């Protein structure tokens, strides 16, 4: 092999090595945001510790619930909202809060096998969400009694 062939081969190897280093650096710089898990992967012990940690400042109170519903504990209200409380039926769950304009639905989610058929999110004197399943329908109606949301039977 001639001297010129050795220089060409060495130049090619050097160029390939530099391109590889630049590519790896770019993948390292951008790659985690493209392919990684946000916040990193947690170990089983870290997950258990996180689940065992107490909830941040909830207020605990139970609701009086309409037939077919279960009241859950509320969360601490913010300065602009009233008392917030969650409700559950076999068809799905909803969170409502009482405020200046009356009661309003903050969120709702159907259970597996159900869909949301109708929502009156408020704010109003009462709000409701209807969960429709293949064989059954659940309607959750909420009013404010005092300053707390309470599930009530449909009129």
Give the residue extent of every domain in the chain.
Answer: 3-52, 69-152
What is the percentage of the chain residues whose pLDDT exceeds 70?
A: 72
Q: How confident is the model at residue 35 (pLDDT cuts 50, 70, 90)?
A: low
Taking the whole predicted model, whether its pTM rises above 0.85 is answered as: no
**Nearest-angstrom CA–CA distance, 95 and 71:** 10
CA proximity to 103, closest of 114, 115, 94, 93: 94
Token pair for 84: 């917030």
* Average pLDDT of span 29-46: 65
Token pair for 24: 């790896």
**Nearest-angstrom CA–CA distance, 95 and 90:** 15
CA proximity to 141, closest of 133, 132, 122: 122
Q: How confident is the model at residue 43 (pLDDT cuts 50, 70, 90)?
A: confident
Instruction: Report the DSSP pairing between strands 115-120 and 69-75.
Output: unpaired
Instruction: Summarize pLDDT for 127-142 with one digit per residue, the tens.
Output: 999 999 999 999 999 9
Asked whether the predicted pLDDT for residue 75 surpasses 60, the reply is no
Which DSSP state fits 128? E
Q: Are 83 and 73 in contact (CB under 8 A)?
A: no
Predicted pLDDT of residue 78: 43
């Amino acid at each position: 092999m001639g001297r010129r062939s050795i220089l060409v081969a060495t130049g090619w190897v050097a160029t390939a090595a530099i391109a590889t280093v630049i590519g790896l650096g770019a993948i390292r710089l951008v790659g985690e945001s493209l392919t990684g898990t946000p916040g990193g992967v947690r170990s089983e012990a870290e997950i258990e510790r996180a689940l065992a940690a107490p909830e941040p400042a909830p207020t605990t109170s139970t609701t009086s619930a309409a037939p077919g519903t279960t009241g859950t504990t509320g969360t601490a209200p913010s300065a602009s909202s009233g008392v917030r409380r969650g409700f559950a039926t076999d068809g799905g769950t909803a969170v409502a809060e009482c405020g200046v304009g009356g009661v309003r639905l903050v969120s709702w989610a159907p259970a597996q096998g159900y869909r949301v058929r109708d929502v009156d999110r408020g704010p109003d004197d009462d709000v409701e969400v209807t969960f429709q399943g293949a064989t059954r329908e659940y309607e959750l109606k909420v009013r404010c009694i005092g300053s707390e949301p309470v599930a009530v039977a449909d009129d």
